[in-house]
Amino acid sequence: MKKMFCILCHKVTNPLIYTVNYLSSFAENTILIHVDAKSPVENFQLFSASNVHFVQNRVQVTWGDYSQIASTLNTLSEALQFNFEYLFLISGDDLPCKNNQSMNELLFSIDNKNLVHFQDERNGYVNPTARVRYRYPQFFYIRNKTPFDKLKILAFKFFRFLYISDSFKRHSNKINGFYKGTNWFSLNYLTVKVVMDFIEANPWYCDLYRYSFCGDEVFFHTVIKHLNINDLYHDSVMLNDALRYIDWTSGPDYPRVLDEGDLEKIRGSDCIFSRKHAPDIDQTFFNDVLGD
């Protein structure tokens, strides 16, 4: 099966090296890497296989703001220049939990349905509309917030009715509600094409999210619902419908940085990818996850 793996990253790490080297060893796969524009792309030239490519229209990414959406859109747009049947969006902290053949078998068994997780009883509820409704100040986009930053966020919650964005006022009535889920997804070619065609023809949709907070967890889920795309995989027994092994409960990090102690849970999850992993994780762990 012709698979496209789109990877969003900002530095060279062991998980990235293992993942790219493994997946690119199969001629049927294409790897497309978006390197954060803050990082020199020259650092990534160790990936020299003929089926490894780099996004040309790179974005300088800031956690939580619209740049996360923009980097994904640029990556999907350039992905459509290649011939593929199925696309995976992953980060540079991810590792595959299945070998290449097992991935193909899984996709065949689910008729190439889209692997997109919409929040449900398996995870805590977050109001997706609130992610888009307001013009969020810059201090929301700081990963390691100071006590003063947290105080400003608390104050914002009391006065946020003053920050309703103009784009929300103009365009929110053009869609039937907002939806949220895991921002790492896997889509068949037709879905990628339909979604990107809609976004290109309707620039107002991007405008809705210009000042959103963590809008990448809402942007694609909402457009999928808006377009009535219904070939979606669903199995409430699984950890999530995106088939990503992510631990949001154990800590001390959220999500948890996975290590050797998580190996059996990862292998028993029947997920396709696990995240996230330490940048210096050992090759042996990668081999053990795949069972090689």
Q: CA-CA distance, 61 to 8, in Å (whole number)?
A: 10
For the stretch 272-281, pLDDT in tens is 999 999 999 9
User: Exposed, middle or buried by CB within 10 Å (0-12, 13-18, 19+), for 152?
Assistant: middle
For the stretch 137-164, pLDDT in tens is 999 999 889 999 999 999 999 999 999 9
Low-confidence ranges of the chain (pLDDT < 50): none
Q: CA-CA distance, 275 to 31, in Å (whole number)?
A: 18
Query: For residue 79, what is the DSSP state?
Result: H
pLDDT at 51: 97
pLDDT at 252: 79
pLDDT at 124: 86
Contact assessment for residue 71 and residue 93, using Cβ atoms and an 8 Å cutoff: no
Contact assessment for residue 35 and residue 11, using Cβ atoms and an 8 Å cutoff: no
Pairing of strands 52-54, 95-96: unpaired
User: What pTM does this model have?
Assistant: 0.95
What is the CATH code for 3-123+176-290? 3.90.550
Which of 9, 15, 12 shows the shortest CA–CA distance to 33?
A: 9
**Who's near 117: CB < 8 A, 6+ residues apart?**
181, 182, 185, 240, 241, 242, 244
Domain range list for the chain: 3-123+176-290
